[in-house]
Structure 1
Amino acid sequence: MQTHQAAGSGQPRLAAVLSNIVGPLAVAVSGGVDSVTLATFAHRCAAGRVEMFHAISPAVPEEATDRIEQLARDQGWRLRIVSAGEFTDENYMSNPVDRCFFCKTNLYACIARHCDAQILSGANLDDLREYRPGLEAAKRHSVRHPYLEAGIDKGAVRLLARELGLGAISELPAAPCLSSRVETGIRIRPEVLKAIHAVERSIARDFPTGIIRCRVRAERVVIELDPETLAAIVGKHEDAVRAEADRIFAGIASTLELSFEPYRNGSAFVHSRP
Protein backbone atom coordinates (compact mmCIF):
# COMPACT_ATOMS: atom_id res chain seq x y z
CA MET A 1 0.00 0.00 0.00
CA GLN A 2 1.07 3.57 -0.66
CA THR A 3 1.43 5.68 2.45
CA HIS A 4 2.20 9.10 0.99
CA GLN A 5 -0.29 11.91 0.68
CA ALA A 6 -1.12 12.54 -2.95
CA ALA A 7 -2.27 15.80 -4.52
CA GLY A 8 -5.70 16.10 -6.10
CA SER A 9 -8.56 13.64 -5.82
CA GLY A 10 -6.58 10.73 -7.26
CA GLN A 11 -9.28 9.64 -9.73
CA PRO A 12 -6.86 8.01 -12.24
CA ARG A 13 -5.05 6.08 -9.48
CA LEU A 14 -8.31 4.96 -7.92
CA ALA A 15 -9.66 3.86 -11.29
CA ALA A 16 -6.47 1.88 -11.89
CA VAL A 17 -6.80 0.11 -8.53
CA LEU A 18 -10.38 -0.93 -9.27
CA SER A 19 -9.62 -2.01 -12.82
CA ASN A 20 -6.84 -4.26 -11.57
CA ILE A 21 -9.16 -6.19 -9.26
CA VAL A 22 -10.51 -9.20 -11.11
CA GLY A 23 -14.11 -10.31 -10.65
CA PRO A 24 -17.10 -8.94 -8.74
CA LEU A 25 -16.78 -6.22 -6.11
CA ALA A 26 -18.68 -5.68 -2.85
CA VAL A 27 -18.46 -2.21 -1.31
CA ALA A 28 -19.21 -1.89 2.41
CA VAL A 29 -21.19 1.36 2.63
CA SER A 30 -21.77 2.87 6.07
CA GLY A 31 -23.32 6.12 4.87
CA GLY A 32 -20.36 8.44 5.51
CA VAL A 33 -18.49 10.42 2.89
CA ASP A 34 -15.69 7.86 2.48
CA SER A 35 -17.79 4.81 1.71
CA VAL A 36 -20.45 6.72 -0.24
CA THR A 37 -17.80 8.28 -2.47
CA LEU A 38 -16.12 4.92 -3.05
CA ALA A 39 -19.45 3.30 -3.86
CA THR A 40 -20.34 6.07 -6.30
CA PHE A 41 -16.96 5.90 -8.04
CA ALA A 42 -16.96 2.10 -8.21
CA HIS A 43 -20.47 2.09 -9.64
CA ARG A 44 -19.47 4.51 -12.38
CA CYS A 45 -16.28 2.60 -13.19
CA ALA A 46 -17.59 -0.95 -13.01
CA ALA A 47 -21.37 -0.91 -12.51
CA GLY A 48 -21.90 -4.42 -13.88
CA ARG A 49 -19.72 -6.07 -11.25
CA VAL A 50 -20.33 -3.94 -8.15
CA GLU A 51 -22.82 -4.52 -5.33
CA MET A 52 -23.19 -2.28 -2.29
CA PHE A 53 -23.74 -3.70 1.21
CA HIS A 54 -25.16 -1.59 4.03
CA ALA A 55 -25.54 -3.06 7.51
CA ILE A 56 -28.29 -1.82 9.80
CA SER A 57 -28.17 -2.04 13.58
CA PRO A 58 -28.92 0.07 16.67
CA ALA A 59 -25.44 1.61 16.23
CA VAL A 60 -26.25 3.00 12.77
CA PRO A 61 -28.30 6.23 12.64
CA GLU A 62 -31.47 5.94 10.57
CA GLU A 63 -30.46 8.94 8.48
CA ALA A 64 -27.35 7.08 7.29
CA THR A 65 -29.54 4.23 6.03
CA ASP A 66 -31.97 6.70 4.45
CA ARG A 67 -29.04 8.39 2.67
CA ILE A 68 -27.81 5.08 1.28
CA GLU A 69 -31.23 4.01 0.07
CA GLN A 70 -31.82 7.36 -1.64
CA LEU A 71 -28.43 7.23 -3.36
CA ALA A 72 -29.13 3.68 -4.52
CA ARG A 73 -32.37 4.84 -6.12
CA ASP A 74 -30.81 7.94 -7.67
CA GLN A 75 -27.70 6.22 -9.00
CA GLY A 76 -29.05 2.80 -9.81
CA TRP A 77 -26.88 0.87 -7.37
CA ARG A 78 -27.35 -2.79 -6.63
CA LEU A 79 -27.85 -2.47 -2.89
CA ARG A 80 -28.27 -5.15 -0.28
CA ILE A 81 -29.36 -4.20 3.24
CA VAL A 82 -28.09 -6.70 5.79
CA SER A 83 -27.87 -7.24 9.53
CA ALA A 84 -24.28 -8.04 10.41
CA GLY A 85 -25.28 -9.53 13.76
CA GLU A 86 -22.79 -7.77 16.01
CA PHE A 87 -25.54 -7.25 18.61
CA THR A 88 -25.63 -11.00 19.15
CA ASP A 89 -21.85 -11.11 19.68
CA GLU A 90 -20.87 -10.92 23.34
CA ASN A 91 -17.36 -9.83 22.34
CA TYR A 92 -18.89 -6.70 20.80
CA MET A 93 -21.59 -6.08 23.39
CA SER A 94 -19.12 -6.12 26.29
CA ASN A 95 -17.45 -3.11 24.63
CA PRO A 96 -13.72 -3.83 24.93
CA VAL A 97 -11.21 -1.32 23.63
CA ASP A 98 -11.03 -3.28 20.38
CA ARG A 99 -14.82 -3.41 19.95
CA CYS A 100 -14.45 -2.22 16.35
CA PHE A 101 -12.54 -5.41 15.54
CA PHE A 102 -15.59 -7.49 16.43
CA CYS A 103 -17.94 -5.09 14.63
CA LYS A 104 -15.98 -5.33 11.39
CA THR A 105 -15.43 -9.06 11.81
CA ASN A 106 -19.19 -9.56 11.89
CA LEU A 107 -19.71 -7.18 8.97
CA TYR A 108 -17.17 -8.74 6.65
CA ALA A 109 -18.25 -12.27 7.53
CA CYS A 110 -21.84 -11.28 6.77
CA ILE A 111 -20.93 -9.84 3.37
CA ALA A 112 -18.88 -12.94 2.57
CA ARG A 113 -21.89 -15.13 3.33
CA HIS A 114 -23.94 -13.21 0.77
CA CYS A 115 -21.46 -13.13 -2.11
CA ASP A 116 -18.11 -14.30 -3.45
CA ALA A 117 -16.98 -10.79 -4.37
CA GLN A 118 -13.83 -8.93 -3.35
CA ILE A 119 -14.88 -6.78 -0.38
CA LEU A 120 -13.82 -3.12 -0.48
CA SER A 121 -13.70 -0.62 2.38
CA GLY A 122 -13.49 3.17 2.41
CA ALA A 123 -10.47 3.43 4.71
CA ASN A 124 -8.21 6.32 3.70
CA LEU A 125 -4.70 7.45 4.65
CA ASP A 126 -5.89 9.55 7.59
CA ASP A 127 -7.32 6.41 9.22
CA LEU A 128 -3.79 5.03 9.59
CA ARG A 129 -3.03 7.81 12.08
CA GLU A 130 -5.59 6.52 14.58
CA TYR A 131 -6.24 3.35 16.53
CA ARG A 132 -8.33 1.33 14.05
CA PRO A 133 -8.78 -2.29 15.18
CA GLY A 134 -11.27 -2.71 12.34
CA LEU A 135 -8.33 -2.71 9.94
CA GLU A 136 -7.09 -5.94 11.52
CA ALA A 137 -10.50 -7.51 10.93
CA ALA A 138 -10.28 -6.33 7.32
CA LYS A 139 -6.86 -7.95 6.96
CA ARG A 140 -8.16 -11.27 8.25
CA HIS A 141 -11.00 -11.18 5.71
CA SER A 142 -8.74 -10.11 2.81
CA VAL A 143 -10.62 -6.83 2.45
CA ARG A 144 -8.99 -4.31 0.13
CA HIS A 145 -8.81 -0.56 0.68
CA PRO A 146 -8.75 1.23 -2.69
CA TYR A 147 -8.08 4.67 -1.17
CA LEU A 148 -5.03 3.36 0.66
CA GLU A 149 -3.76 1.61 -2.44
CA ALA A 150 -4.22 4.82 -4.44
CA GLY A 151 -2.61 7.04 -1.78
CA ILE A 152 -5.79 9.01 -1.04
CA ASP A 153 -6.43 10.90 2.21
CA LYS A 154 -9.61 12.43 3.64
CA GLY A 155 -9.16 15.74 1.86
CA ALA A 156 -8.81 13.96 -1.47
CA VAL A 157 -11.93 11.91 -0.73
CA ARG A 158 -13.92 15.11 -0.19
CA LEU A 159 -12.52 16.58 -3.40
CA LEU A 160 -13.45 13.41 -5.26
CA ALA A 161 -16.97 13.59 -3.83
CA ARG A 162 -17.33 17.12 -5.18
CA GLU A 163 -16.00 16.04 -8.57
CA LEU A 164 -18.58 13.26 -8.64
CA GLY A 165 -21.37 15.75 -7.96
CA LEU A 166 -22.24 14.43 -4.51
CA GLY A 167 -22.93 17.94 -3.22
CA ALA A 168 -23.50 18.23 0.52
CA ILE A 169 -22.26 14.68 1.07
CA SER A 170 -18.74 15.93 0.34
CA GLU A 171 -18.95 18.04 3.51
CA LEU A 172 -20.47 15.45 5.81
CA PRO A 173 -18.71 15.57 9.18
CA ALA A 174 -17.11 12.43 10.54
CA ALA A 175 -19.79 10.20 12.03
CA PRO A 176 -18.44 7.14 13.85
CA CYS A 177 -21.01 4.56 14.91
CA LEU A 178 -23.11 5.35 17.96
CA SER A 179 -21.36 2.68 20.04
CA SER A 180 -18.20 4.79 19.88
CA ARG A 181 -19.89 7.19 22.32
CA VAL A 182 -19.99 4.60 25.09
CA GLU A 183 -16.93 4.47 27.32
CA THR A 184 -14.81 1.35 26.95
CA GLY A 185 -15.93 -1.36 29.34
CA ILE A 186 -19.55 -0.15 29.66
CA ARG A 187 -21.87 -2.67 28.04
CA ILE A 188 -23.49 -1.62 24.77
CA ARG A 189 -27.27 -1.30 25.10
CA PRO A 190 -29.53 -0.41 22.14
CA GLU A 191 -31.74 1.86 24.25
CA VAL A 192 -28.70 3.88 25.33
CA LEU A 193 -27.55 4.29 21.73
CA LYS A 194 -31.02 5.51 20.79
CA ALA A 195 -30.90 8.09 23.56
CA ILE A 196 -27.39 9.21 22.58
CA HIS A 197 -28.53 9.79 19.02
CA ALA A 198 -31.64 11.66 20.14
CA VAL A 199 -29.56 14.05 22.28
CA GLU A 200 -27.14 14.72 19.44
CA ARG A 201 -29.94 15.34 16.96
CA SER A 202 -31.73 17.70 19.34
CA ILE A 203 -28.59 19.86 19.58
CA ALA A 204 -27.88 19.59 15.85
CA ARG A 205 -31.23 21.14 15.03
CA ASP A 206 -29.92 24.47 16.33
CA PHE A 207 -26.23 23.86 15.52
CA PRO A 208 -26.25 21.83 12.28
CA THR A 209 -22.57 22.39 11.44
CA GLY A 210 -21.22 21.67 14.92
CA ILE A 211 -19.29 18.64 16.11
CA ILE A 212 -21.55 17.02 18.70
CA ARG A 213 -20.83 13.89 20.71
CA CYS A 214 -22.94 12.62 23.58
CA ARG A 215 -20.62 10.39 25.61
CA VAL A 216 -21.89 7.92 28.20
CA ARG A 217 -19.38 7.35 30.96
CA ALA A 218 -19.52 5.25 34.11
CA GLU A 219 -21.44 7.71 36.28
CA ARG A 220 -22.23 10.64 34.02
CA VAL A 221 -23.07 11.84 30.56
CA VAL A 222 -20.74 14.25 28.79
CA ILE A 223 -21.71 16.34 25.80
CA GLU A 224 -18.58 17.18 23.82
CA LEU A 225 -18.74 20.09 21.38
CA ASP A 226 -16.45 21.95 19.03
CA PRO A 227 -15.22 25.30 20.47
CA GLU A 228 -17.76 27.49 18.66
CA THR A 229 -20.76 25.35 19.58
CA LEU A 230 -19.53 24.95 23.15
CA ALA A 231 -19.23 28.72 23.54
CA ALA A 232 -22.69 29.22 22.07
CA ILE A 233 -24.38 26.72 24.41
CA VAL A 234 -22.65 27.06 27.78
CA GLY A 235 -24.19 29.86 29.80
CA LYS A 236 -26.87 30.57 27.20
CA HIS A 237 -28.63 27.36 26.18
CA GLU A 238 -27.09 25.03 28.73
CA ASP A 239 -30.21 24.63 30.89
CA ALA A 240 -32.39 23.84 27.89
CA VAL A 241 -29.95 21.26 26.53
CA ARG A 242 -29.59 19.70 29.98
CA ALA A 243 -33.36 19.48 30.43
CA GLU A 244 -33.80 17.83 27.03
CA ALA A 245 -31.03 15.33 27.77
CA ASP A 246 -32.67 14.51 31.11
CA ARG A 247 -35.97 13.92 29.34
CA ILE A 248 -34.40 11.67 26.69
CA PHE A 249 -32.37 9.61 29.16
CA ALA A 250 -35.18 9.29 31.72
CA GLY A 251 -35.33 5.68 32.87
CA ILE A 252 -32.27 4.76 30.78
CA ALA A 253 -29.26 6.41 32.39
CA SER A 254 -28.78 9.13 34.95
CA THR A 255 -27.81 12.56 33.62
CA LEU A 256 -27.49 14.17 37.04
CA GLU A 257 -23.77 14.46 36.38
CA LEU A 258 -24.19 15.79 32.84
CA SER A 259 -21.41 18.14 31.80
CA PHE A 260 -20.21 20.01 28.72
CA GLU A 261 -16.64 19.62 27.49
CA PRO A 262 -14.54 20.38 24.40
CA TYR A 263 -14.69 17.70 21.73
CA ARG A 264 -11.85 15.17 21.84
CA ASN A 265 -11.57 12.57 19.10
CA GLY A 266 -11.91 9.05 20.49
CA SER A 267 -12.28 10.15 24.09
CA ALA A 268 -14.51 7.16 24.91
CA PHE A 269 -11.44 4.93 24.60
CA VAL A 270 -10.13 5.45 28.11
CA HIS A 271 -8.34 2.19 28.83
CA SER A 272 -5.10 0.73 27.53
CA ARG A 273 -5.13 -0.97 24.18
CA PRO A 274 -4.68 -4.74 24.19
Structure 2
Amino acid sequence: MTLSMTLGMTARQRLEHELSSLDQAAIAVSGGVDSLTLATAAQRILGDRVSMHHATSPAVPAEATARTRALAAFQGWSLDVFDAGEFDDPDYRANPVNRCFFCKTNLYGAVARRTDRLILSGTNLDDLGEYRPGLDAASRHNVRHPFVEAGIDKRMVRALAAELGLGALSELASAPCLSSRIETGIRIEPRVLAMVHEAEQRVIATLRPRTARCRVRAGRIVIELDEDALQSLDDGARASLEAAIVAIASAAGLQAPVSFAPYRNGSTFIRRPA
Protein backbone atom coordinates (compact mmCIF):
# COMPACT_ATOMS: atom_id res chain seq x y z
CA MET A 1 0.00 0.00 0.00
CA THR A 2 1.47 3.38 -0.99
CA LEU A 3 1.57 6.45 1.26
CA SER A 4 -0.97 8.23 -0.95
CA MET A 5 -3.38 5.33 -0.52
CA THR A 6 -3.17 5.47 3.27
CA LEU A 7 -3.94 9.19 3.54
CA GLY A 8 -7.38 9.64 5.05
CA MET A 9 -7.81 5.91 5.79
CA THR A 10 -8.58 4.75 9.31
CA ALA A 11 -6.60 1.98 10.98
CA ARG A 12 -9.52 -0.38 10.40
CA GLN A 13 -9.70 0.51 6.71
CA ARG A 14 -5.95 -0.03 6.31
CA LEU A 15 -6.17 -3.42 8.01
CA GLU A 16 -9.18 -4.44 5.94
CA HIS A 17 -7.29 -3.42 2.80
CA GLU A 18 -4.37 -5.69 3.74
CA LEU A 19 -6.63 -8.62 4.60
CA SER A 20 -8.85 -8.30 1.54
CA SER A 21 -5.78 -8.66 -0.70
CA LEU A 22 -5.27 -12.24 0.55
CA ASP A 23 -6.74 -15.32 -1.09
CA GLN A 24 -6.64 -17.30 2.15
CA ALA A 25 -4.82 -17.27 5.46
CA ALA A 26 -4.02 -19.15 8.67
CA ILE A 27 -3.68 -17.10 11.86
CA ALA A 28 -1.51 -18.09 14.81
CA VAL A 29 -3.78 -17.13 17.72
CA SER A 30 -2.12 -16.91 21.14
CA GLY A 31 -5.18 -15.76 23.07
CA GLY A 32 -3.94 -12.19 23.57
CA VAL A 33 -5.64 -9.03 22.36
CA ASP A 34 -3.46 -8.71 19.24
CA SER A 35 -4.12 -12.11 17.71
CA LEU A 36 -7.77 -12.20 18.82
CA THR A 37 -8.38 -8.83 17.17
CA LEU A 38 -6.63 -9.91 13.97
CA ALA A 39 -8.61 -13.16 13.89
CA THR A 40 -11.89 -11.30 14.37
CA ALA A 41 -11.13 -8.85 11.56
CA ALA A 42 -9.88 -11.59 9.23
CA GLN A 43 -12.95 -13.76 9.80
CA ARG A 44 -15.20 -10.89 8.73
CA ILE A 45 -13.16 -10.23 5.58
CA LEU A 46 -12.16 -13.74 4.50
CA GLY A 47 -14.91 -15.93 5.97
CA ASP A 48 -14.13 -19.62 5.53
CA ARG A 49 -10.90 -18.74 3.69
CA VAL A 50 -9.21 -18.12 7.05
CA SER A 51 -8.45 -20.67 9.76
CA MET A 52 -7.27 -20.06 13.33
CA HIS A 53 -4.53 -22.12 14.98
CA HIS A 54 -3.90 -22.07 18.75
CA ALA A 55 -0.98 -23.91 20.34
CA THR A 56 -1.20 -25.21 23.89
CA SER A 57 1.77 -25.95 26.13
CA PRO A 58 2.87 -25.56 29.75
CA ALA A 59 3.90 -22.00 28.82
CA VAL A 60 0.36 -21.02 27.77
CA PRO A 61 -2.04 -20.22 30.64
CA ALA A 62 -5.26 -22.23 30.55
CA GLU A 63 -7.31 -19.03 30.49
CA ALA A 64 -5.70 -18.01 27.18
CA THR A 65 -6.86 -21.27 25.63
CA ALA A 66 -10.32 -20.94 27.19
CA ARG A 67 -10.59 -17.35 25.91
CA THR A 68 -9.64 -18.45 22.39
CA ARG A 69 -12.08 -21.36 22.39
CA ALA A 70 -14.91 -19.17 23.68
CA LEU A 71 -14.41 -16.46 21.06
CA ALA A 72 -14.07 -19.10 18.33
CA ALA A 73 -17.37 -20.68 19.34
CA PHE A 74 -19.10 -17.28 19.53
CA GLN A 75 -17.80 -16.07 16.17
CA GLY A 76 -17.89 -19.40 14.34
CA TRP A 77 -14.19 -19.68 13.61
CA SER A 78 -12.48 -22.72 12.18
CA LEU A 79 -10.21 -23.34 15.18
CA ASP A 80 -7.39 -25.87 15.36
CA VAL A 81 -5.95 -26.46 18.85
CA PHE A 82 -2.69 -28.41 18.98
CA ASP A 83 0.64 -28.90 20.76
CA ALA A 84 3.44 -27.20 18.81
CA GLY A 85 6.05 -29.43 20.49
CA GLU A 86 8.50 -26.81 21.76
CA PHE A 87 8.89 -28.70 25.04
CA ASP A 88 10.46 -31.53 23.06
CA ASP A 89 13.06 -29.10 21.73
CA PRO A 90 16.23 -29.05 23.87
CA ASP A 91 17.23 -25.67 22.44
CA TYR A 92 14.00 -24.12 23.69
CA ARG A 93 14.17 -25.84 27.07
CA ALA A 94 17.75 -24.53 27.61
CA ASN A 95 16.29 -20.99 27.64
CA PRO A 96 19.03 -19.21 25.68
CA VAL A 97 18.90 -15.52 24.86
CA ASN A 98 17.04 -16.36 21.63
CA ARG A 99 14.58 -18.80 23.21
CA CYS A 100 11.69 -17.15 21.36
CA PHE A 101 13.29 -18.11 18.05
CA PHE A 102 12.96 -21.79 18.94
CA CYS A 103 9.44 -21.31 20.30
CA LYS A 104 8.22 -19.60 17.14
CA THR A 105 10.12 -22.02 14.90
CA ASN A 106 8.17 -24.87 16.49
CA LEU A 107 4.91 -22.92 16.33
CA TYR A 108 5.10 -21.83 12.70
CA GLY A 109 6.51 -25.18 11.64
CA ALA A 110 3.57 -26.96 13.30
CA VAL A 111 1.04 -24.61 11.66
CA ALA A 112 2.72 -25.08 8.26
CA ARG A 113 2.41 -28.85 8.63
CA ARG A 114 -1.30 -28.49 9.31
CA THR A 115 -2.20 -26.11 6.49
CA ASP A 116 -0.72 -24.76 3.26
CA ARG A 117 -2.29 -21.35 3.82
CA LEU A 118 -0.27 -18.17 4.31
CA ILE A 119 0.44 -17.74 8.04
CA LEU A 120 -0.37 -14.42 9.72
CA SER A 121 0.67 -13.16 13.15
CA GLY A 122 -0.66 -10.44 15.46
CA THR A 123 2.67 -8.61 15.65
CA ASN A 124 2.14 -4.83 15.78
CA LEU A 125 4.42 -1.84 15.22
CA ASP A 126 5.38 -1.56 18.90
CA ASP A 127 6.81 -5.08 18.81
CA LEU A 128 9.41 -4.01 16.26
CA GLY A 129 11.09 -1.75 18.80
CA GLU A 130 12.12 -4.68 21.02
CA TYR A 131 14.53 -7.58 20.62
CA ARG A 132 12.22 -10.23 19.21
CA PRO A 133 14.07 -13.30 17.89
CA GLY A 134 10.66 -14.82 17.15
CA LEU A 135 10.45 -12.42 14.22
CA ASP A 136 13.45 -14.19 12.68
CA ALA A 137 11.53 -17.46 12.86
CA ALA A 138 8.51 -15.75 11.30
CA SER A 139 10.65 -14.51 8.42
CA ARG A 140 11.96 -18.02 7.75
CA HIS A 141 8.38 -19.29 7.49
CA ASN A 142 7.20 -16.37 5.33
CA VAL A 143 4.81 -15.24 8.04
CA ARG A 144 3.14 -11.90 7.39
CA HIS A 145 2.17 -9.28 9.98
CA PRO A 146 -0.95 -7.38 8.81
CA PHE A 147 -0.89 -4.90 11.70
CA VAL A 148 2.67 -3.89 10.81
CA GLU A 149 1.81 -3.67 7.12
CA ALA A 150 -1.17 -1.45 7.97
CA GLY A 151 0.88 0.79 10.30
CA ILE A 152 -0.97 -0.25 13.46
CA ASP A 153 0.52 -0.09 16.96
CA LYS A 154 -0.74 -1.53 20.26
CA ARG A 155 -2.92 1.45 21.09
CA MET A 156 -4.60 1.15 17.68
CA VAL A 157 -5.07 -2.60 18.15
CA ARG A 158 -6.99 -1.96 21.38
CA ALA A 159 -9.11 0.69 19.64
CA LEU A 160 -9.81 -1.76 16.82
CA ALA A 161 -10.79 -4.47 19.30
CA ALA A 162 -13.35 -2.13 20.84
CA GLU A 163 -14.60 -1.06 17.40
CA LEU A 164 -15.00 -4.70 16.38
CA GLY A 165 -17.17 -5.37 19.43
CA LEU A 166 -14.70 -7.35 21.53
CA GLY A 167 -15.68 -5.45 24.67
CA ALA A 168 -13.49 -6.14 27.70
CA LEU A 169 -10.99 -8.00 25.53
CA SER A 170 -9.87 -4.61 24.19
CA GLU A 171 -8.46 -3.87 27.67
CA LEU A 172 -6.92 -7.30 28.18
CA ALA A 173 -3.58 -6.91 29.94
CA SER A 174 -0.48 -7.90 28.03
CA ALA A 175 0.56 -11.40 29.08
CA PRO A 176 3.66 -12.86 27.41
CA CYS A 177 4.12 -16.61 27.67
CA LEU A 178 5.02 -17.98 31.09
CA SER A 179 8.52 -18.88 29.94
CA SER A 180 9.27 -15.16 29.71
CA ARG A 181 9.27 -15.11 33.53
CA ILE A 182 12.31 -17.40 33.71
CA GLU A 183 15.72 -15.73 33.69
CA THR A 184 17.84 -16.40 30.63
CA GLY A 185 19.91 -19.55 31.09
CA ILE A 186 17.65 -21.22 33.67
CA ARG A 187 16.12 -24.34 32.13
CA ILE A 188 12.42 -24.15 31.31
CA GLU A 189 10.51 -26.69 33.45
CA PRO A 190 6.72 -27.20 33.26
CA ARG A 191 6.38 -27.49 37.06
CA VAL A 192 8.10 -24.13 37.52
CA LEU A 193 5.84 -22.49 34.93
CA ALA A 194 2.81 -23.87 36.75
CA MET A 195 4.19 -22.39 39.97
CA VAL A 196 4.72 -19.00 38.29
CA HIS A 197 1.15 -18.96 37.06
CA GLU A 198 -0.28 -19.99 40.43
CA ALA A 199 1.79 -17.32 42.21
CA GLU A 200 0.65 -14.62 39.80
CA GLN A 201 -2.97 -15.65 40.20
CA ARG A 202 -2.60 -15.44 43.98
CA VAL A 203 -1.11 -11.95 43.73
CA ILE A 204 -3.82 -10.80 41.32
CA ALA A 205 -6.60 -12.14 43.53
CA THR A 206 -5.10 -10.43 46.59
CA LEU A 207 -4.00 -7.03 45.25
CA ARG A 208 -5.87 -6.54 41.96
CA PRO A 209 -2.77 -4.90 40.42
CA ARG A 210 -2.60 -3.52 36.90
CA THR A 211 0.51 -5.63 36.31
CA ALA A 212 1.99 -8.61 38.13
CA ARG A 213 4.87 -10.85 37.15
CA CYS A 214 6.44 -13.71 39.09
CA ARG A 215 10.08 -13.73 38.00
CA VAL A 216 12.28 -16.77 38.63
CA ARG A 217 15.90 -15.72 38.92
CA ALA A 218 19.05 -17.50 40.01
CA GLY A 219 18.38 -18.43 43.64
CA ARG A 220 15.37 -16.16 44.18
CA ILE A 221 11.82 -15.30 43.17
CA VAL A 222 10.84 -11.69 42.53
CA ILE A 223 7.24 -10.49 42.36
CA GLU A 224 7.13 -7.41 40.15
CA LEU A 225 4.17 -5.04 40.51
CA ASP A 226 3.04 -1.74 39.06
CA GLU A 227 3.95 1.21 41.29
CA ASP A 228 0.46 1.72 42.72
CA ALA A 229 0.13 -1.92 43.75
CA LEU A 230 3.63 -1.94 45.18
CA GLN A 231 2.94 1.19 47.24
CA SER A 232 -0.29 -0.31 48.59
CA LEU A 233 1.53 -3.38 49.89
CA ASP A 234 1.80 -2.87 53.66
CA ASP A 235 3.99 -5.00 55.90
CA GLY A 236 1.20 -7.41 56.82
CA ALA A 237 0.09 -8.01 53.25
CA ARG A 238 3.70 -8.33 52.12
CA ALA A 239 4.47 -10.97 54.74
CA SER A 240 1.28 -12.89 54.00
CA LEU A 241 1.88 -12.93 50.24
CA GLU A 242 5.52 -13.82 50.69
CA ALA A 243 4.59 -16.83 52.84
CA ALA A 244 1.94 -17.95 50.34
CA ILE A 245 4.34 -17.74 47.40
CA VAL A 246 7.12 -19.53 49.28
CA ALA A 247 4.62 -22.35 49.94
CA ILE A 248 3.55 -22.46 46.27
CA ALA A 249 7.19 -22.57 45.14
CA SER A 250 8.11 -25.20 47.72
CA ALA A 251 5.28 -27.45 46.50
CA ALA A 252 6.84 -27.20 43.02
CA GLY A 253 10.24 -28.19 44.40
CA LEU A 254 11.68 -24.69 44.27
CA GLN A 255 13.30 -23.42 47.46
CA ALA A 256 14.01 -19.70 47.12
CA PRO A 257 13.42 -16.44 48.97
CA VAL A 258 10.70 -14.11 47.71
CA SER A 259 11.00 -10.34 47.29
CA PHE A 260 8.92 -7.57 45.69
CA ALA A 261 10.04 -4.99 43.15
CA PRO A 262 8.68 -2.51 40.58
CA TYR A 263 7.61 -4.03 37.27
CA ARG A 264 10.19 -3.86 34.49
CA ASN A 265 9.38 -5.15 31.02
CA GLY A 266 11.52 -8.18 30.16
CA SER A 267 13.58 -7.99 33.34
CA THR A 268 14.45 -11.72 33.34
CA PHE A 269 15.84 -11.42 29.83
CA ILE A 270 19.63 -11.22 29.91
CA ARG A 271 21.18 -10.36 26.58
CA ARG A 272 24.62 -11.81 26.89
CA PRO A 273 27.58 -10.42 24.92
CA ALA A 274 28.57 -12.34 21.79
Which residue of 1 is the match for residue 54 of structure 2? 54
Measured after TM superposition, the shift of residue 119 of structure 1 is: 0.2
Moved more, 119-128 or 233-242: 233-242
What are the within-5 Å matches in structure 2 for residues 69-218 of structure 1? 69-218=69-218
Mapped to 2, the partners of 1:121 and 1:6 lie a distance apart of: 25
Kindly report the root-mean-square deviation, in angstroms, between the aligned alpha carbons of the 2 structures: 1.9
Query: What letter matches 1:52 in structure 2?
Result: M
Gaps of 5+ in 1: none
Query: What letter matches 2:12 in structure 1?
Result: Q
Task: Indicate how the Cα distance of structure 1 residues 7 and 203 shifts in structure 2: closer, same or farther if over 3 A, else same.
Answer: farther
Task: Indicate how the Cα distance of structure 1 residues 8 and 200 shifts in structure 2: closer, same or farther if over 3 A, else same.
Answer: farther
Aligned identity (percent) is 54
What are the within-5 Å matches in structure 2 for residues 225-236 of structure 1? 225-236=225-236
Task: Indicate how the Cα distance of structure 1 residues 176 and 115 shifts in structure 2: closer, same or farther if over 3 A, else same.
Answer: same
Task: Indicate how the Cα distance of structure 1 residues 61 and 6 shifts in structure 2: closer, same or farther if over 3 A, else same.
Answer: farther
Three-state SS of the structure 2 residue aligned to 1:261 is strand
Which residue of 1 is the match for residue 63 of structure 2? 63
Measured after TM superposition, the shift of residue 206 of structure 1 is: 2.8
Query: What letter matches 2:266 in structure 1?
Result: G
Which residue of 2 is the match for residue 34 of structure 1? 34
TM-score (norm 1): 0.95
Instruction: Say if 2:18 and 2:149, in contact at 8 Å, map to a contact too.
Output: yes
Which residue of 1 is the match for residue 259 of structure 2? 259
Which residue of 2 is the match for residue 11 of structure 1? 12
Three-state SS of the structure 1 residue aligned to 2:265 is coil
Instruction: Say if 2:161 and 2:170, in contact at 8 Å, map to a contact too.
Output: yes
Instruction: Say if 1:9 and 1:156, in contact at 8 Å, map to a contact too.
Output: no
Measured after TM superposition, the shift of residue 6 of structure 1 is: 9.5
Mapped to 1, the partners of 2:254 and 2:234 lie a distance apart of: 22
Instruction: Say if 2:48 and 2:78, in contact at 8 Å, map to a contact too.
Output: no
Structure having greater relative contact order (Cα 8 Å, sep ≥ 6): 1
Three-state SS of the structure 2 residue aligned to 1:16 is helix
Instruction: Say if 1:94 and 1:187, in contact at 8 Å, map to a contact too.
Output: yes
Mapped to 2, the partners of 1:239 and 1:7 lie a distance apart of: 55
Mapped to 2, the partners of 1:11 and 1:49 lie a distance apart of: 20
Runs of 4+ in 1 over 4 A off after TM superposition: 5-9
Instruction: Say if 2:224 and 2:261, in contact at 8 Å, map to a contact too.
Output: yes
Gaps of 5+ in 2: none
* 1:27-48 CA-partner distances (Å, limit 9, x unpaired): 1000000000000000111112
Mapped to 2, the partners of 1:9 and 1:65 lie a distance apart of: 31
Instruction: Say if 2:209 and 2:226, in contact at 8 Å, map to a contact too.
Output: no
Query: What letter matches 1:174 in structure 2?
Result: S
Task: Indicate how the Cα distance of structure 1 residues 264 and 2 shifts in structure 2: closer, same or farther if over 3 A, else same.
Answer: farther
Measured after TM superposition, the shift of residue 271 of structure 1 is: 3.4
Which residue of 2 is the match for residue 21 of structure 1? 22
TM-score (norm 2): 0.95
Mapped to 1, the partners of 2:44 and 2:7 lie a distance apart of: 22
Mapped to 2, the partners of 1:223 and 1:249 lie a distance apart of: 12
* 1:145-186 CA-partner distances (Å, limit 9, x unpaired): 000000000000000000011011000111000000000000
Query: What letter matches 1:253 in structure 2?
Result: L
Mapped to 2, the partners of 1:121 and 1:67 lie a distance apart of: 18
Three-state SS of the structure 1 residue aligned to 2:206 is coil
Mapped to 2, the partners of 1:35 and 1:208 lie a distance apart of: 25
* 1:29-82 CA-partner distances (Å, limit 9, x unpaired): 000000000000001111120100000000000000000000011100000001
How many residues in Structure 1 have an aligned counterpart in Structure 2? 271
